[in-house]
Amino acid sequence: MSASLDFEAARTAMVNSQLRPNKLVDDRLTDALRTVPRERFVPKDLQGIAYIDEDLPFGGGRYLMEPMVLTRLLQSAEIEADDMVLDVGCLTGYAAAVMAALANTVVAVDSDPAYVAGATETLAALDITNVAVVEAPLAEGLPDQGPYDVVLVEGAVAEVPQALLDQVAEGGRLLTVLRRDGMGVAHLFTRQGNIGKRPLFDAATPVLPGFEMKQGFVF
């Protein structure tokens, strides 16, 4: 059996054994997850475990989000075919590739130029043409291209920067994991005039570097 067939089998097993039992019901998202080759978005030494249900460490405090958490966030986002999406902390571009199958346009930002270059190259090699990968500070997003129907923050945060909330369009959604002490909780933020939020599910997603709880003054 060739490596490509092994990966295809692993991708099918991920969907059928990991994701569907964890409330994956959206057909468009299911098709995207079955199609996007996750192994192309991880370093060669991690390709053998590309489909396990864990956060994959990339070094420097960065992780590729575990499939179950990412899938439930994307399903809660209810991405529509004409949506403009902002992907914050895109890393190598896997989530952006999945969302590209669902949305009209994905603007993917990362602060690391190596990840920006790698994601751009991989997406181009896969002929995914509706994603623009941009180098920018993660906490700032990319307001010049906004507002966005969906904002995904790929990692946990102690709090969502106001700059990102400001880029959520009317009727739009922002998805991330809030984590301060102990277990994180995935949240859906929505804009209906004002910003509202509601918890979705527990998640052990690591905190994105730079999004930790700010230390206050100690007397």
**Digit-coded pLDDT (tens) for 89-124:** 999 999 999 999 999 999 999 999 999 999 999 999
What's at 86, amino acid-wise? L
pTM of structure: 0.93
Q: What is the mean pLDDT of the chain?
A: 93
Parallel, antiparallel or unpaired: strands 194-203 and 148-157: unpaired
Nearest Cα residue to 18 out of 30, 6, 28: 30
What is the distance between the alpha carbons of residues 41 and 119, in angstroms, rounded to a whole number? Answer: 8
Whether the predicted pLDDT of 2 surpasses 70: no
Whether the predicted pLDDT of 204 surpasses 50: yes
- Vertex 178: Cα angle to 173 and 184 (nearest 5): 130
Whether the predicted pLDDT of 130 surpasses 60: yes
Looking at the chain, how many residues does it have?
Answer: 219
Parallel, antiparallel or unpaired: strands 84-88 and 105-110: parallel
Give me the residues paired with residue 202 across strands.
185
Whether the predicted pLDDT of 217 surpasses 70: no
Do the beta carbons of residue 13 and residue 20 sit within 8 Å? no
Q: Going from the N-terminus, what domains does the chain have, and what CATH number goes with each?
A: 3-203 (3.40.50.150)
Nearest Cα residue to 138 out of 105, 108, 174, 159: 108
